[in-house]
Amino acid sequence: MNETKNDLLQLPNLERQPFEPRALKSILLSTITIICAVLACVPLFSVLVMLIYRGGSRISLELFTALPPTAFQFDGGGISNAIIGTLFMVGIAALITIPFGVLAAIYLAELGPYSKVATIARFSAKTMSGLPSIIAGVFAYAIMVITMGGYSAWAGGVALAVLMLPTILLTAEETIKMVPKRMKEAAFGMGCTPSQSMTKVVLPMALPGIITGVVLAVARAAGETAPLLFTAIFSEYALEPNDPTASLAVLIYNYSNSTSENQLELAWAASLVLVVLVFILNMVSRWIGSRTRK
Amino acid sequence: MAAENREESILPHAETLAAPPTTVDKIFDKCFRTLTLVFTWATVLLLAFIVFRIGGQALPAIKEYGLGLLVSSDWDVNNNQFGIWPQIWGTLYSSLLALVLGGFFGITIAIFLTQDFLPHKLEIILKNIVELLAAIPSVVYGLWGIYVLIPILQPTADKLHSSFGWFPLFSTSFSGFGMFSAALVLSIMILPTIAAISQDALRAVPGKTKEAAFGMGTTRWEAILRVILPTASGGISGALVLGLGRALGETMALAMLVGNSATVSLSLFSPASTLAALLALNFPEADLNQTGVLMYAACTLLLITLVVNMLGTLIISTTTTKGGER
């Protein structure tokens, strides 16, 4: 009897011991985690430093105003047509997708959130957001390039639109859903028709969130290369919407393995311009997002 | 609080709004509602149309070559011999390699950011840095890979090959462009996706669970490995599957780095090819017959990614329980 009681009382030492194996293991794992986190930041800084180091020297007025050089032109030249091309095609895509996405989102969030169509449409949008970007290019090739008989900025815009739609639609749906219910009820109480409550109450309130989604989608589309490779291709001349059109992303790809040092430098400079553009758009969307959350 | 302010701003207009809808209002309402419904249907139809158009263009090639195309490795344009097995292999192999690397780093970072390792402000800064990794366009990663990453890897890879050449993973000499460089860049690109979704899963673990573990006297890592990670495992596996989906569809970084040679090899240093890279490189110069084959390849890619993505979405939606507090 006495013995068992003593056994029970012999508890292990419960105080924290900094050098027991399990404490050491914990410290070791924490160290590995910190190293991993630091390592993961290395690529970002490496990319940024290289862009500034190799592309920064070409930032000048000429870069933004001149046309690309030929392979035999050893200095000079710019990327003006690629910048305009990117803006033009992203613009077309935005013009198609903003009304499309926002109107569909209104239906999904408000007018028939539990209907069958809504469920299927939500599922379609989610599936489309996981679509490989090159598939969007193949699709635009099949419907635009084959039927129109040639590469054009329009085809590029359509390809980008396919990629932008799911982002815009899904973020718009989320923000419209977040508009407080009593706002809508107040509008109905005033005798508003559903569409009046949408256009006069819900949409103005959800606008910042919708803009965040649009800006993010635009930032993503501006950097896409794969969908433009065989829809807009590339051109060394100024913008002609019905002809092949240059874009920053495709310019970087085409010049990345160029033997001409001049074109290679332009590829780095174009990357710098593109990354700065994308980062600014990201910051803007975060800024709008954080302002509305308060 | 903010909502109340907004309410005030709307109230002054109340008198003008409080009137029965006129005929114009009713017609406008009808049109507007129909329009939203039309665009909802259009979303569904767009996806159906994408599958239908690509499938339709691929149909002649599917009829002609059948499933044999998927397992053959010949690509001879002149004799109309086509096979995409090396590309399918390359797509799966590069994505899995990237998933192992990116998954490890992604989950580690998610743990680092959610388990109170850092003060809140630093946590937010690191989170933003990881998110910015996703914002860099893939073509820029490709350029960086060619001129920065490959020269850095070259000496180590040469050493590995000369000392461990008998090991299948290192069996070919490193030419720069190849599986390893491509998979490394790919893992950087999918890391933010995995980290972001894993963070959500880890944050959804109820605080009580964690506190109970600490109350039992576990060390921080015993709690993380034995309690928190298993609880969040559903969401984390969803994150991995969605990361895999992204890796499978990624095009540019691979087209620029993978070497584009139709070889099937276990070696990390061997050049390879992927479905997306095949499409990117061959579409512009394809004749009609070849276009069909490429559409067939696009169909295969579409099918693989659709299955993987649906699986990921399904895993996340069935396992993530909302309402967990930190």
The three-state (H, E, C) secondary structure of A163-210, written as one string? HHHHHHHHHHHHHHHHCCHHHHHHHHHCCCCHHHHHHHHHHHHHHHHH
Size of interface A-B (CB pairs under 8 A): 270
CA distance A236 to chain B (A): 17
Among chain A residues, CA nearest to B10: A201
- Segment B36-59 shows an average pLDDT of 91
Residue B263's pLDDT band (boundaries 50, 70, 90)?
A: confident
Question: Which element (helix H / strand E) includes B297?
Answer: helix B288-319
- Segment B221-241 shows an average pLDDT of 90
Taking a contact as any Cβ pair under 8 Å apart, which residues of chain B between 155 and 194 contact chain A? 188, 191
- Identify whether the C-beta of residue A65 lies closer than 8 Å to the C-beta of residue A78: yes
- Identify whether the C-beta of residue A135 lies closer than 8 Å to the C-beta of residue B301: yes
- Segment B271-287 shows an average pLDDT of 85
Tokens of B151: 């020269």
Instruction: Give CA separation, B5 vs A201, A225, A287, B2, B9, in Å.
Output: 14, 44, 21, 5, 7
Using the Cβ of B278 and the Cβ atoms of chain A, whether some distance falls under 8 Å is answered with no
Residue B4's pLDDT band (boundaries 50, 70, 90)?
A: very low
Sign of torsion over alpha carbons A138, A142, A148, A154: negative
- Segment B75-96 shows an average pLDDT of 85
pLDDT (0 to 100) of residue A82: 92
pLDDT (0 to 100) of residue B154: 86
CB atoms A121 and B148 under 8 Å: no
pLDDT (0 to 100) of residue B1: 43
Averaged pLDDT of chain A: 87
pLDDT at residue A286 tops 70? yes
For chain B, what are the domain ranges? 2-50, 71-325
Question: Which element (helix H / strand E) includes B210?
Answer: helix B207-215
pLDDT at residue A210 tops 60? yes
Using the Cβ of B139 and the Cβ atoms of chain A, whether some distance falls under 8 Å is answered with yes
pLDDT at residue B323 tops 60? no
pTM: 0.86
Using the Cβ of B280 and the Cβ atoms of chain A, whether some distance falls under 8 Å is answered with yes
pLDDT at residue A72 tops 70? yes
Architecture in CATH for domain B71-325: Orthogonal Bundle (1.10)
Sign of torsion over alpha carbons A213, A218, A224, A228: positive
pLDDT at residue B3 tops 50? no
Residue A32's pLDDT band (boundaries 50, 70, 90)?
A: very high
pLDDT (0 to 100) of residue A8: 61
How far is residue B272's CA from residue B268's CA, in Å, rounded to a whole number? Answer: 9
pLDDT at residue A4 tops 60? no
Q: How far apart are the first and last CA of chain A?
A: 66
How far is residue A12's CA from residue B95's CA, in Å, rounded to a whole number? Answer: 48
CATH class of A61-293: mainly alpha
- Segment A13-36 shows an average pLDDT of 85
Half-sphere exposure in the Cβ direction for B297 (13 Å, CA)? 31
- Identify whether the C-beta of residue B264 lies closer than 8 Å to the C-beta of residue B86: yes
Within 8 A of A257 by CB-CB distance, chain B residues are: 146, 256
How far is residue B199's CA from residue B236's CA, in Å, rounded to a whole number? Answer: 8
Closest C-alpha among B303, B253, B263, B280 to residue B172: B263
- Segment A8-24 shows an average pLDDT of 75
Using the Cβ of A119 and the Cβ atoms of chain B, whether some distance falls under 8 Å is answered with no
pLDDT at residue B6 tops 60? no
Out of B53, B130, B137, whose CB is closest to A249?
B137
pLDDT (0 to 100) of residue B324: 40
CB atoms B137 and A133 under 8 Å: no
Within 8 A of B14 by CB-CB distance, chain A residues are: 190
SS (H, E, C) A149-170: CCCCHHHHHHHHHHHHHHHHHH
CA distance B297 to chain A (A): 10
How far is residue A210's CA from residue A174's CA, in Å, rounded to a whole number? Answer: 9
Sign of torsion over alpha carbons B157, B161, B164, B169: positive
- Segment B261-281 shows an average pLDDT of 86
- Identify whether the C-beta of residue A57 lies closer than 8 Å to the C-beta of residue A67: no
B293: three-class secondary structure by DSSP: helix
Averaged pLDDT of chain B: 84
Residue B326's pLDDT band (boundaries 50, 70, 90)?
A: very low
CB atoms A233 and B284 under 8 Å: yes
User: What is the percent of chain B with per-residue pLDDT over 90, rounded to a whole number?
Assistant: 30
Poorest-confidence range of B23-37, B146-160, B239-253, B309-323? B309-323
Closest C-alpha among A98, A129, A48 to residue A215: A98
pLDDT at residue B114 tops 60? yes
* DSSP assignment string, chain A: -HHHHHHHH-PPP-S--TTSHHHHHHHHHHHHHHHHHHHHHHHHHHHHHHIIIIIGGG-SHHHHHSPPPPTT--S----HHHHHHHHHHHHHHHHHHHHHHHHHHHIIIII-TTSHHHHHHHHHHHHHHTS-HHHHHHHHIIIIIHHHTS--HHHHHHHHHHHHHHHHHHHHHHHHHHS-HHHHHHHHHTT--HHHHIIIIIHHHHHHHHHHHHHHHHHHHHT--HHHHTTT---SSS--TTS----HHHHHHHHHT-S-HHHHHHHHHHHHHHHHHHHHHHHHHHHHHHHHH-
If one compares B73 and B204, the residue with the highest pLDDT of the two is B204
How far is residue B63's CA from residue A89's CA, in Å, rounded to a whole number? Answer: 36
Closest C-alpha among B283, B35, B177, B173 to residue A233: B283
CB atoms A195 and B309 under 8 Å: no
pLDDT (0 to 100) of residue B160: 83
- Segment A246-272 shows an average pLDDT of 90
Render pLDDT for B21-34 as a digit per residue (tens, 0 to 9): 788 888 888 999 99
Give the distance from CA B101 to its chain's centroid: 14
pLDDT (0 to 100) of residue B10: 53
